[in-house]
Structure 1
Amino acid sequence: MTSQAEMSKLDRRLFVGAALSLALPGTARAQAIATARVGDAALQILSDGSISTPITQLVRDVQPDVLRAALAEAGPVVAANQNALNVPVLALGREVVMFDCGAGRNFLPSTGRLPQAAEGAGLDPAAVTQVLFTHAHPDHLWGALDDFDTPAYPNATYHIAEAEWAFWTAADVFARLPEERHAFAAGAQRVLKALEPQLNRFRPGAEIVPGITAIDTAGHSPGHVSYAVAAASDNLMILGDVFTHRHLSFRHPEWATAFDQDPERASATRRQLADRLAQERTLVATYHLPGGGLGRVERAGTAYRFVPAA
């Protein structure tokens, strides 16, 4: 009979093995959209699929001709925008950390690809030790449960900002949202309730795990956070939905999207963070940008631009 101590050692080997598979080159990396070294940590970007949205949802309160002219600066204008769902996984010391969980299979036919991507990358769901949510929109949260509505990462501690939890679980949340967002709230309540035994709530500024600190980037949602990762001499920031379009979010950070819940605060957050990232030259991981969403922010005149990682 296997003792509890022996089981603990077995679990530990699983965690370490997963971290090594992320850190080393080989076929385990084949399913990653992008990879990077961040000091002594290894980062992989896995895909949960994509979401297609009309270009009219890229901004709010902007005239269609102005929007089209801005889009034309970056290339041909199409009727729909493809939003990638990029899920970062970081092997950092003793931890295997996943940031957000994708949308899962119950959102759209084009989502729910994360389990296959993880399998192809050699990542056992049991090896994930921490899951850090940027916010509780469906495409970031719903993939936290498997097909049996149980936690998809059974050994992980899940983390969400207190303000985000409070908003989505409030009794009056449906009254505070337009009708088309009621499904967002119902889904958030279902998932968060299932995760609650493994869920930690925090406030921005907290170090969630050693080397990873939550930063207040509210606006897109009431408790949206980003994560600053310090690994040896390098830095990384996980941005969630602060920037959602490869051109507009940087050329026109003042333009709110149709999905920004607090448009003024979201716009202010976007500009302030773009300024900081341009100054610090920090590697960033963005959730919806193409090519895995890894890159850096640079100044471009009075605005900014996103430069994908090589």
Structure 2
Amino acid sequence: MRKVSRREALKVLGAAGVTAGTLGAMAQPSPPLPNGAGFYRFRLGEYTLIVLSDGQTPPGNAFPNWGANPGRQAEFEAALRENFLEPTQFINNFNPMVIDTGRQKILVDTGRGQAGRLLSNLANAGLRPTDINLVFITHGHGDHIGGLVQGGQPVFANAQHLIGETELEFWLSQANPPANLLALRDRFTRVRPGAEIAPGVTAVDTAGHTVGHLAVQVSSGGQTLWHLGDAGGHYILSFRFPDHYLGFDANPQQAVATRARLWQTAAAERIMVVGYHFAWPGVGFVRRAGNAYEFVPAFFVF
């Protein structure tokens, strides 16, 4: 057997040390990201859609806000528990969405502003506020318009801003209009139900939650999706109970009638839906269930 020299032995030990150091460096964990990195990207025909999480609320009571029908609380609570949800530990989601048509990037709703995570999750998805060409506001509630303005300036400075004509007129007529709508009142283009926002993207009449609430329809390659805004209500209760309404529905009867129309059409035509407050990422389909409906989450695509 050949005797190994001292010099050769030191070289071998040195190489082993380098390898160990390299492996040790590789084993160092990266800073943790939010579950799912805060965005969900998928295709609809030729378009790319990106649901963005604006975060969640801390756990709290579901009722009466998420089921305001008098005398129905016990029934609603039982339905939540049947679905493994504790009514006193309710967590609310906020799900804006980007529609990338290849020529335009359209943001549907802007989240809660500084209280939310829209901008950080937009960055996680590889986008900057300056990449957004058009902002569409479904309605004037604070958790949808909170991200419009920062430091007195529009957050999405390169974007055209759209909102329903009836909706904007309602809010601006109030004694204390929402500050973000007031700040951008001259920047908004007012639209009506049925208006084309972009090729294959149209505004849908979904009044009831607010007086001029508009959802967004996206159609491409023979597929259709609705971003419901708040017209969808709750992803369990608003499907199982046809008369269910929310504590913040401006016109409960109209909101119930709107949901009935949406569910009937979505189920019959197999239209995909995204709910702003549905369980993350809020993407799925509507299926008949006896005299009511149920929400079926879409298959998660990586």
2:47 counterpart residue number: 41
With structure 1 as the length reference, what TM-score do the two structures score? 0.81
Offset at residue 252 of structure 1 (A): 1.0
Are residue 134 (structure 1) and residue 138 (structure 2) matched?
A: yes
| Separation in structure 2 between the aligned mates of residue 31 and residue 91 of structure 1, nearest angstrom | 19
Q: Partner of 1:11 in structure 2?
A: none
TM-score by length of 2: 0.83
Of 270, 289, 301, 1:300 maps to 289
Partner secondary structure for residue 116 of structure 2:
coil
Match of 2:61 in 1: 54
How do 1:1-310 and structure 2 match up within 5 A? 31-52=37-58, 53-56=60-63, 57-63=65-71, 64-105=73-114, 111-146=115-150, 148-170=151-173, 173-174=174-175, 186=177, 188=178, 190-310=179-299
**Separation (CA, whole Å) in 1 of partners of 2:85 and 2:183:** 44
Deviations 1:183-205 (A, max 9, x none): xx54x2x1122223431001111
CA 1:96 to 1:72, structure 2 compared with 1: closer, same or farther past 3 Å? same
In the TM superposition, residue 114 of structure 1 has moved relative to its aligned partner by 0.8
What amino acid does structure 1 have at the position aligned with 2:70?
A: V
The answer to whether the 8 Å contact 2:81/2:87 transfers is: no
- 8 Å contact kept, 1:34–1:291: no
Structure 2 gaps of 5+ residues are 1-32
Q: Which has the higher helix share?
A: 1
Q: Distance in 2 between matches of 1:206 and 1:215?
A: 8
Partner Cα distance (2:163, 2:196) in 1:
12
Q: Secondary structure at the match of 2:95?
A: strand
Using the TM superposition, give the Cα deviation of residue 80 of structure 1 relative to its aligned residue in structure 2, in angstroms: 3.5
CA shift, 1:206, in A, is 0.9
Identity of aligned residues (%): 38
CA distance in 1, matches of 2:126, 2:76: 42
The structure with the largest alpha-carbon Rg is 2
Opposite residue 131 of structure 1, the aligned amino acid is V
Count of residue pairs the alignment pairs up: 263
Q: Deviations over 1:40-59 (max 9, x none)?
A: 10011111112355211111
Structure 1 contact 46–114 (Cα < 8 Å) conserved: yes
| 8 Å contact from structure 1 (residues 134, 226) kept in 2 | yes
In structure 1, list runs of 5 or more residues that go unmatched. Answer: 1-26, 106-110, 175-184
- CA deviation string 1:4-38 (max 9, x = no partner): xxxxxxxxxxxxxxxxxxxxxxx9xx634322100
Output the CA distance in 2 between the equivalents of 1:164 and 1:76: 34
